[in-house]
């Protein structure tokens, strides 16, 4: 008993430490923020201190001495180059500097004004980017900026190389293997089996017993990556060849549950629930680059469509943990309901919807303010959920009611309820078909897979799997 109390105390202290570090996200002091908003009407001050101007320009902050703003009562602007309407750079007398991100071909970078004084140049290079900076995609900086980068993972290059990179083909964003044909892959948590279905007729093509405990899946570059809790690994399946092509071994007893990838497919994230880590894997080499510590019991993962944040559900503590994909560190945490189980992110990356299985609710989290802005009351034991392609409807599976609840996202009111067929029990996760016209419903108690027409809200004939089902994903094949 004493040992259990010591462990619980240790976990609590660690959790408080993580929340404290998240609270240190970059913040502008009230008077400084007011000055910035006066300088640039309509500006959006991001949580990392960056400025999104009304005309779409992005200005990134360089902060003197780290993330703390000097406590000057009234910081005044020093100068804007070339002028206030088209700022390339802004210097404030509290030491803050803002530099405009410019596009050079296919890359994003900075260019300092040639007329910049040596004194101002030294001020810039004596500062740092905030550690929670959301790094722009395809961001490359001249080597002279090395001191400014801090611990962020930003590529450095000389001017010649930057110019060359600008003319090269860009890294594909949202770049799955192009194909109009694919397979649906279903996994069974109970039997440890992967089932492949034809995506046109839903015929079973084959199945793979793994002797593991399979959880979340993600498709990257035509391959399927599957987290296996029991064997501390990620399995890699080639659905075109219908064979396993390898695995990524993780820490012993790490019990990996969730898995997700950046939109460009360069990094894969795996939640190691047994060690309270997020393993960050380079897709090209399939090697673990580093690990990020989280609150206890990280589970299901999602990456926002814009690629800026990794979202982690911590079922044990009832939290959503937010990790910046720019520096791979925790940048925030939001208390939601009891046993958060699944989540869906709006296509504009502004809101995340989370089912709370014990609370019988859905928490609606605003990612900009890091707050629960609305709580939706569901039926009993909400599990999976999905957002319609037009972002107007939210579908929520209620396991104990054997029903799908529908919410109108314009009003956040319940707009309908669909009872499940008799041969489909205890619905689990929900997944839209690639065309967004139908909704798959997995079953944690039956051996059938549900498919609901979203126009008629009726179920097609159920596909018989021979196994209960946990997750389903579409993977393109050649």
Q: Report how far apart, in Å, the C-alpha atoms of 275 and of each of 109, 270, 272, 292 are.
A: 37, 12, 6, 11
Per-residue confidence (pLDDT) for residue 181, from 0 to 100: 82
Q: Which residue has the tokens 């399946």?
A: 237
Output the six-digit token pair for 340. Answer: 């958060």
Sorted by where each starts, the structural domains of the chain and their CATH numbers stand as 10-167 (no CATH), 182-476 (2.130.10.10)
Q: Which residue has the tokens 């990556």?
A: 225
Per-residue confidence (pLDDT) for residue 145, from 0 to 100: 84
Per-residue confidence (pLDDT) for residue 160, from 0 to 100: 63
Classify 369 in phi/psi space as left (phi over 0), alpha (psi -120 to 50) or beta.
Answer: alpha
**Among 23, 22, 24, residue whose Cα is nearest residue 68:** 24
Output the six-digit token pair for 86. Answer: 């088209």
Strands of 34-134, DSSP E: 44-45, 51-52, 58-64, 77-82, 87-92, 97-100, 102-104, 107-109, 127-128
**Among 449, 436, 439, 353, residue whose Cα is nearest residue 404:** 439
Residue-level pLDDT, tens digit, the chain, 478 residues? 444 444 444 444 444 444 444 444 567 888 888 888 888 888 888 877 888 888 888 999 998 864 444 444 345 556 666 666 778 888 887 788 899 998 877 788 887 776 677 878 888 888 888 887 888 877 888 888 888 887 777 888 876 666 655 554 443 333 444 456 899 999 999 999 999 999 988 999 999 999 999 999 999 989 999 999 999 999 999 999 999 999 999 999 999 999 999 988 989 999 999 999 999 999 988 999 889 999 999 999 999 998 889 999 999 999 999 998 877 889 889 999 999 999 999 999 999 999 999 999 999 999 988 999 999 999 999 999 999 999 999 999 999 999 999 999 999 999 999 999 988 999 999 999 999 999 999 999 999 999 999 999 999 878 899 999 999 999 998 7
Per-residue confidence (pLDDT) for residue 121, from 0 to 100: 81
Per-residue confidence (pLDDT) for residue 162, from 0 to 100: 66
- The sign of the dihedral angle between the CA atoms of 307, 378, 332, 69 is positive
Cβ neighbours for 333, distance < 8 A, ≥ 6 positions apart: 18, 19, 22, 295, 319, 320, 321, 322, 370
Per-residue confidence (pLDDT) for residue 120, from 0 to 100: 80
Q: Report the alpha-carbon distance of residue 376 to residue 381 in Å, rounded.
A: 13
Q: Report the alpha-carbon distance of residue 374 to residue 366 in Å, rounded.
A: 9
Q: Report the alpha-carbon distance of residue 454 to residue 413 in Å, rounded.
A: 18
Per-residue confidence (pLDDT) for residue 81, from 0 to 100: 63
């Amino acid at each position: 008993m004493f040992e259990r109390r010591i462990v619980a105390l240790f976990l609590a202290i660690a959790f408080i430490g993580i929340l404290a570090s998240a609270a240190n996200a970059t913040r502008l002091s009230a008077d400084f923020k007011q000055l910035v908003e006066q300088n640039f009407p309509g500006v959006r001050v991001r949580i990392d201190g960056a400025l999104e101007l009304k005309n779409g320009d992005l200005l990134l902050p360089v902060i003197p001495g780290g993330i703390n703003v000097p406590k000057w009562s009234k910081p005044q602007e020093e100068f804007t180059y070339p002028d206030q309407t088209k700022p390339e750079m802004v210097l404030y007398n509290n030491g803050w500097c803002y530099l405009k991100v410019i596009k050079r071909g296919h890359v994003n970078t900075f260019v300092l004004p040639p007329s910049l004084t040596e004194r101002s140049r030294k001020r810039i290079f004596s500062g740092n980017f905030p550690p929670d900076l959301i790094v722009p995609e395809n961001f490359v900086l001249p080597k002279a900026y090395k001191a400014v980068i801090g611990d962020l993972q930003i590529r450095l290059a000389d001017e010649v190389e930057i110019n060359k990179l600008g003319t090269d083909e860009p890294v594909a964003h949202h770049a799955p293997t192009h194909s109009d044909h694919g397979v649906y892959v279903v996994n069974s948590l109970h039997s440890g089996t992967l089932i492949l279905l034809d995506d046109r007729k839903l015929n079973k093509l084959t199945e793979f017993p793994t002797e593991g405990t399979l959880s979340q899946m993600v498709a990257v570059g035509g391959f399927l990556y599957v987290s296996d809790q029991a064997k501390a690994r990620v399995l890699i399946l080639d659905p075109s060849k219908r064979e396993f092509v390898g695995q990524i071994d993780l820490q012993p007893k790490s019990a990996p549950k969730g898995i997700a990838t950046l939109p460009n497919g360069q990094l894969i994230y795996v939640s190691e629930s047994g060690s309270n880590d997020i393993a960050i894997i380079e897709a090209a080499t399939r090697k673990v680059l580093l690990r990020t510590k989280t609150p206890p019991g990280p589970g299901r993962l999602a990456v926002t469509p814009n690629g800026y944040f990794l979202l982690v559900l911590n079922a044990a503590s009832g939290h959503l943990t937010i990790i910046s994909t720019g520096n791979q560190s925790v940048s925030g945490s939001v208390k939601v309901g009891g046993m958060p189980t699944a989540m869906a992110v709006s296509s504009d990356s502004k809101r995340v919807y989370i089912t709370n299985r014990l609370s019988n609710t859905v928490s609606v989290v605003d990612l900009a303010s890091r707050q629960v802005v609305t709580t939706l009351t569901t039926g009993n034991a909400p599990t999976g959920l999905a957002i319609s392609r037009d972002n107007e409807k939210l579908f929520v599976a209620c396991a104990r009611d054997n029903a799908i609840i529908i919410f109108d996202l314009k009003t956040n009111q319940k707009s309908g309820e669909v009872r499940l067929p008799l041969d489909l029990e205890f619905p689990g996760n929900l997944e839209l078909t690639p065309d967004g016209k139908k909704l798959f419903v997995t079953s944690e108690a039956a051996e059938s897979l549900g498919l609901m027409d979203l126009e008629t809200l009726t179920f097609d004939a159920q596909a018989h799997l021979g196994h209960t089902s946990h997750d389903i994903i579409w993977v393109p094949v050649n």
